[in-house]
Amino acid sequence: MTHPRFNAEAVREATRNRAPDFGQLATILRGGAPDRPTLFEFFLNAALEEELLGPGVTETDAELRKIRAWRAAGFDHYTCPLNGFAFPRGEREQLRSVSMSAGGIVRSRADFEAYPWPEVAAEPDARFRTVERALPEGVRIMVNGPCGVLENAVALMGYEDLCVNVMEDLPFAQAFFDAIGSRLLDYYRAAVVQPAVGMIVSNDDWGFKTQTMLSPDQMRRFVFPWHRRIVEAAHEAGRPVLLHSCGNATAIWDDITFGMRFDGKHSFEDAIEPIETAYDRHAGDIALFGGIDVDFMCRATPEAVFDRARAMLDRSRTRGRYALGTGNSVPDYMPPVNVYALWLAAVGED
């Protein structure tokens, strides 16, 4: 049953005359306050995108339909990879979750030498060019990666074997991480020079609920140097960089803000640190994106979602450095009515 207040039609109506303006996100990432409440999501889901389109849309191309849906929701950006670059992985069963120790195929030096390390294409692929041509005026592309340095290391080696190697064979572990990081750096270097790219997101989950997946010192040795170089390459090209990373970052916040110098941080969870607390603690140093907890988004009433979102916008109105969105992304099990309530807290103000 359609909610009388929070529904797709209400979102489309609220954004009908709302001009996209990537400059709002750029202002947030560069430490300022936007002229209006600004939305951010990493990914949506297909069913929600279809509902956002509404009646009368005859476009059949799947990518163009997605672009229209993001425009209807009120976003100033559109998430799209540069090309199909990825690290070939082993097979592992994946349902709603996946074992981080399954599917490892680079477990030894012999595996490392035999692995088909991919070449990085310097040019965008056909999908990117389609998006580039179809972008609504004012919208810019946010290029995401094929996961990040640590996530690819875990996927290729398996978490347990990775932990063993970083303790017992440092030269091998270093060569392994460098093979991944150097290729990701090349990928982002190719992305940041594209005129349609407004920002990049370095998406790399680093932690659990209680701590980082490797020790902070191991992260500083193997993972962070490559992220720092990715940020430097983006900044040299005049592009801001968002970090998307799940997990407890308590021990590495200074690394994120002052070491690697990310412009923004995305992915927050109430069980670790609510966005309200994180904002008060860190917004003086870095922009914070999203943060309205996924579990809360799934369980709360739409009225509670709307009220929390409005309160967060009020908290950040003059201080800036905040874009409203979910704590992580919009999965298919999240009630659409709550997503609409979240977005209408921002776009309904205009």
Nearest to 106 by CA among 154, 151, 145, 149: 154
CATH number of the CATH domain containing 65: 3.20.20.210
Across the range 281-298, mean pLDDT stands at 98
Q: Quick check: is 3 in a domain?
A: no
Sheet of strand 287-289: strand arrangement: 77-79, 140-144, 197-203, 241-244, 264-266, 287-289, 322-323
Q: Average of pLDDT values for 126-141?
A: 98
Would 283 be classed as within a structural domain?
Answer: yes
Q: What is the pLDDT of residue 222?
A: 98
What mean pLDDT is predicted for residues 269-283? 98
Condensed to tens digits (0 to 9), the pLDDT of residues 221-250 reads 999 999 999 999 999 999 999 999 999 999
Contact 103, 158 (CB under 8 A): yes
Residue 193 lies in a domain: yes
Q: 10 Å Cβ neighbour count for 132?
A: 16
Encode pLDDT of 188-227 as tens digits. 999 999 999 999 999 999 999 999 999 999 999 999 999 9
Q: What's the chain's length in residues?
A: 350
Residue range of the domain that includes 98: 8-347
The rounded distance, in Å, linking the Cα atoms of 197 and 25 is 13
Inside any domain, residue 195: yes
Q: Does residue 304 fall inside a structural domain?
A: yes
The pLDDT tens digits of the residues spanning 69-78 come to: 999 999 999 9
- Total structural domains within the chain: 1
The identity of residue 155, as a single letter, is A
Domain for residue 93, yes or no? Answer: yes
Q: For 318-343, what is each residue's pLDDT tens digit?
A: 999 999 999 999 999 999 999 999 99
Percent of the chain having pLDDT more than 70?
Answer: 96
121: in domain: yes
In a domain, 1, yes or no: no
**pTM recorded for the entire structure:** 0.95
